[in-house]
Structures are given as C-alpha cells and as structure tokens.
Amino acid sequence: MSESGGISDLDKNRALADWLEWQLRRTRNRIRELEVKERQEQHAYERAQAERSWKIQPKHSRGTATLHRGGCTLSPQLGFISREDAIIALDEPDIEACRICHPEKGLRVA
C-alpha cells in the first residue's frame, strides 16, 4: 500500500496484468472461433463449387468413362470440367452418366 493510503503501484500493475491476460485469452478465443468459421465457409464454398461442376472418371474395365457431378462421392478426386464440356461429354459414345448422381439432369435442354 502507498503511504497516502491509496492503491500501490505494485497492486495497480498486478491488476493491469490480470486484465491484460484476460483480454489476451478473450482475443485468442475469438481468433480460434473466427478460424473455425473461416474453415467452414471455405468448405461450404468448395462444396458449392463442386456441385456446379462436373468431372469425368477415366475408362474402367468395360471400356467407358463416367461423367459425374462435381460433388459425387463415387468418383475419385479429379479436376472439374465446365457445364459446356459436360454437355459435350454426354454426347460422346464412350462416356456414360453416373447412375447415382445423374449429372445429365439440368444439362439436357428439352
């Protein structure tokens, strides 16, 4: 305690250190929350991109390749192709549409 009866400099600095540590913990927690949110948003964006894309699985044993929607889990991780390329692929005799994800829906114009 100080001679004048107030709070000592040591006690003031301890209180300040406690407050700063509380602020730092709070800030680090907020950073973690924002990092989780950013990862979730990135995943959602990538998923949406995949759903607006298509991919072609190379030929398998029976000699045909398979067109999949970008988000189809039956196909391996492949590069995506555009809608226009998917339409062209559907017209190819050696490329068939996946029977699970039905990539042809929305590609064929009535």
Mean pLDDT, rounded, of the chain = 88
How far apart CA 56 and CA 85 sit, in angstroms, is 10
Q: Which two tokens stand for residue 15?
A: 């209180």
pLDDT of residue 46: 86
> Structural domain boundaries of the chain?
1-51, 53-97
Q: What are 9-32's pLDDT values in tens digits?
A: 999 999 999 999 999 999 999 999
Note every long-range contact of 78-87, with CB atoms under 8 Å and residues 24 or more positions apart, other chains counting: 79/55, 80/49, 80/50, 80/53, 80/54, 80/55, 81/53, 81/54, 81/55, 81/56, 82/53, 82/54, 83/52, 83/54, 83/107, 85/54, 86/54
What pLDDT is attached to residue 29? 98
Q: Is the pTM of this model over 0.95?
A: no
- Per-residue pLDDT at 8 exceeds 70: yes
